[in-house]
């Protein structure tokens, strides 16, 4: 059997698309998110689904050790779970900033801490952190989201350097706009409208969650000696 792949945020969007593609290729999976029923409904083979909030480091660790007891050590961790609550600093509820920093940054670090020592010892393994194009360039109404995603870009780059001597890959994937449930969590309807107007103004967003999943799987399946350190992937028609 292939080695264990752990995917956070697998109940929707990129995570769900990755789960289907990896399962179709025979990888055993641990899928994590809060809506466990969405992951179970996929009914994928050799797959353990656990209701885990990535900010809960203990629950995260427990789920990983449960899956490793069945499928062996984690060879790929995709830290994909994330939230995007758009707003400006002067208008947005600080609880929304906190939520994004907790889930998008600390949730990623929780996952990394769980698998890194084992990967170091085995001198093998891959961690792929899903950041965003908003983790390398600014966008209006994205201040706290950018803070979280620049954070992911930064911590991934540091960990990549630290893990390189141990033959462990640490990559960031920085997608542009892709239609998923992500925008739906923003609480200000005017910002949602403005975002959708922007998407229309750039032409079309034809890129899909499946395209992002295919790219992540491709990066993982390259030989361990090949590290696509940072992948910025957008719709061809996205101008910014």
Catalytic site residue from 71, 145, 195, 220: 145
CA separation for the pair 47, 4 (Å, rounded): 10
**Helix (H) or strand (E) segment spanning residue 23:** helix 13-24
Q: How far apart are CA 212 and CA 210, in angstroms?
A: 5
Quote the CA–CA distance of 20 and 184 in Å, as a whole number.
23
Residue 142 vs 169, nearer CB to ligand NDP:
142
The CB-of-228 to ligand NDP minimum distance in angstroms stands at: 17
Q: Is 145 a catalytic residue?
A: yes
Between 8 and 156, CB nearer to ligand NDP: 8
Q: Of 163, 161, 133, which Cα lies nearest the Cα of 145?
A: 133
| Site residues for ligand NDP per CB under 6 A | 8-15, 33-35, 53-55, 80-84, 103, 130, 132, 175, 177-178, 180-182
Q: Among residues 56 and 122, whose Cβ is nearest to ligand NDP?
A: 56
Shortest spacing between CB 73 and ligand NDP, in angstroms: 22
Terminus-to-terminus CA distance in the chain, angstroms? Answer: 42
Nearest approach, Cβ of residue 132 and ligand NDP (Å) = 4
> Residues with catalytic annotation?
145
């Amino acid at each position: 059997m292939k080695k264990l792949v752990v995917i956070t945020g697998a109940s929707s969007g990129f995570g769900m698309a990755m789960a289907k593609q990896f399962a179709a290729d025979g990888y055993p999976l641990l899928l994590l998110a809060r809506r466990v029923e969405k992951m179970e409904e996929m009914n994928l083979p050799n797959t353990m689904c656990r209701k885990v909030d990535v900010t809960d480091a203990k629950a995260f660790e427990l789920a990983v050790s449960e899956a490793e007891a069945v499928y062996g050590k984690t060879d790929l961790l995709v830290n994909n779970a994330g939230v995007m609550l758009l707003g400006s600093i002067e208008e947005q509820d600080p609880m929304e900033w906190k939520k994004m920093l907790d889930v998008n940054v600390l949730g990623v670090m929780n996952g990394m801490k769980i698998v890194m020592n084992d990967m170091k010892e085995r001198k093998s393994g891959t961690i792929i952190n899903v950041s965003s194009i908003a983790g390398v360039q600014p966008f209006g109404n994205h201040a706290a989201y950018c803070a979280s995603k620049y954070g992911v870009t930064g911590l991934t780059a540091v960990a990549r350097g630290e893990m390189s001597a141990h033959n462990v890959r640490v990559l960031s994937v920085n997608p542009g706009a892709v239609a998923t449930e992500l925008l739906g969590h923003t609480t200000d309807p005017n910002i949602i409208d403005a975002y959708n107007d922007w998407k229309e103004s750039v032409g079309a967003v034809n890129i899909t969650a499946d395209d992002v999943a295919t790219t992540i799987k491709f990066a993982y399946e390259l030989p361990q000696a090949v590290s696509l350190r940072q992948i910025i992937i957008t719709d061809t028609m996205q101008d910014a």
